[in-house]
Structure 1
Amino acid sequence: MKLRPDLAIIADHVPAGARVLDVGCGDGELMAALRDEKQVDARGLELDPANVAAAVGRGLSVVQGDADRDLADYPDQSFDYAILSQTLQTARRPDVVLDHLLRIGRRGFVSFPNFAQWRVRLSLLFGGRMPVTRQLPEQWYDTPNIHHVTVDDFRAMVAARGIAVEGAWFLSGERRTGSAGANLLAAHAVFLLRR
């Protein structure tokens, strides 16, 4: 199974046999790959009932829940890795969700679309409307993205919160791009974090 590029990066860096919580796990695509290829003990939390049903149908341990409310119920350091892929920008309080993620997991992976990527900037500049791109296909009024985060915004937030960045990967489509121009060039970012 070919994973979405940000999920492939995460899967490559989760060690075999780890305990993982995937927050906003969707239909369980990453969890299934980790279970099947690395014998990872993967659990999931997902808001959408159809995605929960699809993940459970794959034989995965997924519960329906909301990251903004339900992460507070998980015990400290109960997982080796807590993952938040393409979910941070949909949270009402991404700062609180991130704090819980790094409390629950010894390390945390966070991936998100970069709203400062050059295509998004040009679309807004020349079109005068909120961009609709391949990476951000929804109209402004129908998007789950309620916080438009950029690579530089995220770097500033983790630095201000004293969070260590153990790894960072930047994607333009399926290609990796360098760190130096990531805020302008990357469509997606993946960070490995720890407290």
Structure 2
Amino acid sequence: MSNGNPLTAIERERFDFAVIANWIPPGERVLDLGCGDGKLLRYLRESKGVVGYGVEISHESVLGCIRNGVDVIQIDIEGGLSGFENRSFNHAIISQALQAMHATERILGEMLRVAEEAVVSFPNFAYRANREAIAQGHMPVSENLPFEWYETPNVRFFTIADFDALCDKLGIEIRERLAFDDAGQPVTDEPNLNGSLAFYRLGRKA
């Protein structure tokens, strides 16, 4: 995915999207939660022919979805997804937005109610560079955690190990997990230390 050089912002966006797209078969029904301006869903529609909806609460982001030609529903996912029937979708996605949610357990449960599988990505707070920043007495600021502590929308700061434990507690099956460093390179050695961004493919345990 990369030649070892740091990715530009545009390349990084494609990298993030491409990792998720690899888990989405062509023509699927997809629900993208906290979809922002709809670029991921647009990418999936153009590259995989998916159909589906974005869900977003921000009025400005909803307008971005409209500009990107993405069908969007403006609701607060913290309150659940009662408007969607069980297994309405093949995949429900929440991409780098779970850390900004309060109702973490509820959202994960709802994703696996309305979809056959869930895809989750998030910045790993235990990443080596984040630990170094804290050791120096500061909250980390990076490409994956780009906000200063006083303006961040993030309300949950968790790690790969934390998320693994939560899935175990909730009876969620981790079907696949990937971690990448800041250069977009896959990490297999101690991902909780060396992985900056984590991606999960989740399902219900049998």
TM-score by length of 1: 0.94
CA contact (8 A) 1:6 1:189 kept: no
Q: Deviation string for 1:130-189 (max 9, x for gaps)?
A: 122222121112111101010000001101211111111111124233344111011110
Choose which of 180, 188, 193 in structure 2 pairs with 1:184.
193
Choose which of 60, 69, 72 in structure 1 pairs with 2:70.
60
Q: Is 1:24 paired with 2:31?
A: no
Q: Percent identity?
A: 36
Deviates more, 1:69-78 or 1:140-149: 69-78
Partner of 2:102: 92
The size of the alignment, in residue pairs, is 194
Task: Point out the structure with the larger helix share.
Answer: 1
CA contact (8 A) 1:85 1:110 kept: yes
Q: Is 1:157 paired with 2:155?
A: no
Q: Is 1:148 paired with 2:161?
A: no
CA contact (8 A) 2:100 2:155 kept: yes
Q: Unaligned stretches of 5+ in structure 2?
A: 1-9
Counterparts of 1:126-137 in structure 2 under 5 Å?
Answer: 126=136, 128-137=137-146
Deviates more, 1:19-28 or 1:32-41: 32-41
Counterparts of 1:40-59 in structure 2 under 5 Å?
Answer: 40-59=50-69
CA contact (8 A) 2:181 2:187 kept: no
Alignment RMSD: 1.5
TM-score by length of 2: 0.89
Partner of 1:122: 132
CA contact (8 A) 2:127 2:192 kept: yes
Letter of the 1:144 partner, please give it.
Answer: P
Counterparts of 1:6-17 in structure 2 under 5 Å?
Answer: 6-17=16-27
CA contact (8 A) 1:164 1:194 kept: yes
